[in-house]
Structure 1
Amino acid sequence: MLRRTLARFGIDPYLLALLATVAVAIILPATGRGAVVANDAVSVAVALLFFLYGARLSPKAVWDGLLHWRLQSLVFASTYVLFPLLGLGLTKAFGNFLSPTLILGLMFVCVLPSTVQSSIAFTSIARGNVAAALCSASVSNLFGMVVTPLLVMLLLNANGGGFSTAAVESIALQLLAPFAVGQILRPWIGTFLQRHKAVISLVDRGSILLVVYAAFSEGMAAGIWSQVTAGDLVAVVLLDMVLLAAVLVITTVVSRRFGFSKEDEIAIVFCGSKKSLASGIPMANILFPGQALGLIVLPLMLFHQIQLFACATLAQRYAKRPVETHPEPESQPMLGPAKA
C-alpha cells in the first residue's frame, strides 16, 4: 500500500531510503574503527555489485544490441559526448556561484553511464523498443567502466578532480575483475539469479545504501556540511534540471531528424538522458579517494530523482499516443462462376 501511495505521487521509495541513510549518517556517523570497517565493507559490496552485473548480463544481448548501430551510436554520443559538453558549458557559465566540489560533482554526473532498470522500465511504459533499450543501457554500463574513468582524467582534472593511475588499478580490481568473473560464471549461476531477483535487488540497493552511508559519514567527520547553503542546493537542483531538459529536447529532435521510428525514438530519449546512481556512487568512491565524497555525489542524487519525475511524466505522455493499427488486406474476389 505504501509503495502504491508513493507511486501515485511520483515518489521513488528508494529515494526515501537514500534520504534515510543520509539522515542516519548525519546523526550516527561511522568514526574511528567503525569508519575503517565501513570502508572495507564498501569495497566488498562494490565488488559484489559488479559481480552480479556480470552474472546477469547476457553476452548475446550485448551483441544483438550492437547490430542496431545507428540507435546505439546516438545513445552513446548523448551519454558520453553531449552530456560532458553541456556540463562543461554549465560549469563555465555558473562555476562562480558554486563551490569547486559541487562543480566537480555536477561534471561527474555528466560522464557517468546510463541507467539500466529505469531506462528499460520507462521505455516499456511508453511502448517503445524495449529490446533496444535493454541492449543500449547494458552496453552503456559495460563501456562506462572504462570510458567514465577516462573522461574523469580528461575533463575533471581541470575542475579539481583527483584521478590518478591508482584509480585505474582500483577500477580494474573492484569493477572489471568482478564483472569478468560474473560473466565467466554466468552459465552456472545465471538461472539461480533469475529465480531470486528479489534477493539480488536487495543486494544491489543495499550496496548503494552502504556506500552512501560511508560517504556521508566521512563528510560529517570532515565537517563538509558547514560549506553547503540552501542557495547551493537550489542552484544544483536548477542546473540538474537545465541539464536534463536540454538532453531530452536534443535527443528527441535528433532522433526525429534521423528518421527513427517512434519506438526507437523512445528508447533513444530514455537511455540517452539517464545517469546511473547505481554505477556512479561506487565509481565516485574509487575515483575520488580522500575527497568530500558526500558533496561530490550530491548533484548525482538530486539528478537521479529529477530524472525519475521528468521521465515518468514523459513516459505517460508517450503511452497515450494512438495505437498504430495495420488494416487487414481486402479479401480477393472468388474466381470462377458464381453459384446460383
Structure 2
Amino acid sequence: MKKLDPLLVGIVVAAALAFVVSARGAFADGFDIAVKLGIALLFFLYGARLSTQEALRGLTNWRLHVVILAFTFVAYPLIGLLARPTTALLDDGLYQGLLFMTLVPSTVQSSVALTGIARGNVSGAVVAASVSSLVGVVATPLLVMWLMGAGDGVHIDASVFTDISLQLLLPFLLGQVAHRWLGELAKSKATKIVDRGSIWMVVYAAFSKGVVSGVWSNVSVGEIAFLTVFSAALVVAMLWLTRVVPTALRFPREDITAIQMCGTQKSLATGLPMATVIFGGASLGVLIIPLMIYHMAQLIICSAYVSRKSFT
C-alpha cells in the first residue's frame, strides 16, 4: 500500500486543528508574523536551490517555456473565466477561489518529480517550473487585478506589488545571491520541513480566520463534492490538451512529458503565500479551498498517469 503524502496529511491536520483550536487574539497576530517569516524563508530557499547558470542554460529552450507559460497563464485563466456559470452551484467566494486557482504558477517540486518518473526532460522541467514561479510573482497579481478586481469582496490595488516584492521576490533574489554558499543545503531533504511547514502554517492561519469569522457556515458538502469532481475533470482534460498541442508542434517525447507535468500543475506552495499577501482577511479560508482540492487532485491523478503509462 502506497504511503500517504505527508504534505496532504499535514494540510488536513492543519485545517482540522483550526476548527478545534483556532488562532485568536494576540496569538493570531503573532502567528501572522510567523507566517510571513516562514513564507520569506520559503522563497529564499527557492532562490538558493536554483543555480543562476543552470537557469540561464535552460532558458535557451524557449519554445518549451513559452508553451508551458501559455498553458499556465493563458489557457487556465480562460478556463477559470468560462467556469463562471458554476456560481449556480457554488458560492461566489468559492468561485473566486476557483478563478484564483487558475491564475497561480506551476509547482516546482511535483512537476520535476513526475517528469523524472516519466523519463522526461528533467532539466527543462526544473527551469520551466522555476520560470513559471518567477513570472507568477508579477503575472498572478496582474491577472488577479484584471480578472478578480471587480469581484464581490475582492479589492486589489497596486500596493500588492510592493507586498509581493518584499515578501516573495526579494527573498528569492537574496537566495540567488546566497546560492554559492547555501545551494547544496537548500537542496537537502531537511528543507522540506520549511517547504511543508510554511504551507501548513498558512492553511492553519487561513482556516482559523474562516472559523473565527464564521465563513465556513456558508460552505456546503455539495460544494466541496462539486469542486472535487471539477478539479479531477480539469486535470484529466489538461493532461490530454498538454499532450495533443505539443505533439502537433512536433516537440520530442521528453519535452512533451515535461510540458504535461508542468502544464497541468498549480502550485500550492506558491499560491497560498500569494493569496495571503494579495487577499488576507477572513475570506482567505474560502478562497484557498479550490486550490487545495485541485492540488490534491493533480497529485493523485498525475502520479497514477506517470506510473501506469508506458514510457519508451
Pair in the same fold by TM > 0.5: yes
CA distance, structure 1, for counterparts of residue 206 and residue 106 of structure 2: 22
One-letter amino acid of the structure 2 residue matched with residue 130 of structure 1: V
One-letter amino acid of the structure 2 residue matched with residue 85 of structure 1: L
Q: What's 2:82 paired with?
A: 89
CA distance, structure 1, for counterparts of residue 59 and residue 5 of structure 2: 31
Of 18, 22, 25, which aligns to 1:25?
18
Of 97, 109, 116, which aligns to 1:117?
109
CA distance, structure 1, for counterparts of residue 54 and residue 90 of structure 2: 42
CA distance, structure 2, for counterparts of residue 136 and residue 233 of structure 1: 32
Task: State the shift of 1:291 in Å.
Answer: 4.1
Of 129, 133, 143, which aligns to 1:137?
129
Task: State the shift of 1:172 in Å.
Answer: 1.0
Gaps of 5+ in 1: 324-340
2:47 is the counterpart of 1:54:
yes
Contact kept, 8 Å, 1:83 with 1:247, in 2: the verdict is no
CA distance, structure 1, for counterparts of residue 157 and residue 282 of structure 2: 13
Q: What's 2:280 paired with?
A: 289
One-letter amino acid of the structure 2 residue matched with residue 270 of structure 1: M
Q: What's 2:119 paired with?
A: 127
Q: What's 1:246 paired with?
A: 237
CA distance, structure 2, for counterparts of residue 213 and residue 19 of structure 1: 10
Task: State the shift of 1:295 in Å.
Answer: 0.8
Contact kept, 8 Å, 2:39 with 2:198, in 1: the verdict is yes
Task: State the shift of 1:12 in Å.
Answer: 2.2
2:308 is the counterpart of 1:317:
yes
SS in 1 for 2:148: helix
2:302 is the counterpart of 1:303:
no
Q: What's 1:107 paired with?
A: 99
Q: What's 2:261 paired with?
A: 270
Q: What's 2:165 paired with?
A: 172
Using the size of structure 2 for normalisation, the TM-score is 0.96
Task: State the shift of 1:141 in Å.
Answer: 0.8
Task: State the shift of 1:41 in Å.
Answer: 0.7
Of 215, 219, 222, which aligns to 2:210?
219
SS in 2 for 1:158: coil
Task: State the shift of 1:226 in Å.
Answer: 0.5
Superposition map of 1:41-80 within 5 A: 41-80=34-73
CA distance, structure 2, for counterparts of residue 192 and residue 315 of structure 1: 29
One-letter amino acid of the structure 2 residue matched with residue 122 of structure 1: L
Distance 1:314 1:300, change over 3 A: same
Pairs aligned (count): 311
Mean alpha-carbon deviation: is it higher for 162-171 or for 47-56?
162-171
Contact kept, 8 Å, 1:129 with 1:267, in 2: the verdict is yes
Mean alpha-carbon deviation: is it higher for 158-167 or for 122-131?
158-167
Contact kept, 8 Å, 1:149 with 1:287, in 2: the verdict is yes
SS in 2 for 1:114: coil
Task: State the shift of 1:58 in Å.
Answer: 1.2
Q: What's 1:329 paired with?
A: none
Task: State the shift of 1:63 in Å.
Answer: 1.5
CA distance, structure 1, for counterparts of residue 169 and residue 39 of structure 2: 11
Q: What's 1:327 paired with?
A: none
CA distance, structure 2, for counterparts of residue 61 and residue 83 of structure 1: 28
> Percent of counterpart pairs with the same letter?
43
Of 172, 191, 209, which aligns to 2:184?
191
Task: State the shift of 1:103 in Å.
Answer: 0.5
CA distance, structure 1, for counterparts of residue 65 and residue 11 of structure 2: 31
CA-based RMSD of the aligned residues comes to 1.3
Bigger Rg over Cα: 1
1:168-216 per-position Cα deviation (integer Å, ceiling 9, x unaligned):
111011111111111112212223334xx12211111111111111111
CA distance, structure 1, for counterparts of residue 75 and residue 81 of structure 2: 10
SS in 2 for 1:149: helix
CA distance, structure 2, for counterparts of residue 157 and residue 23 of structure 1: 31
One-letter amino acid of the structure 2 residue matched with residue 148 of structure 1: T
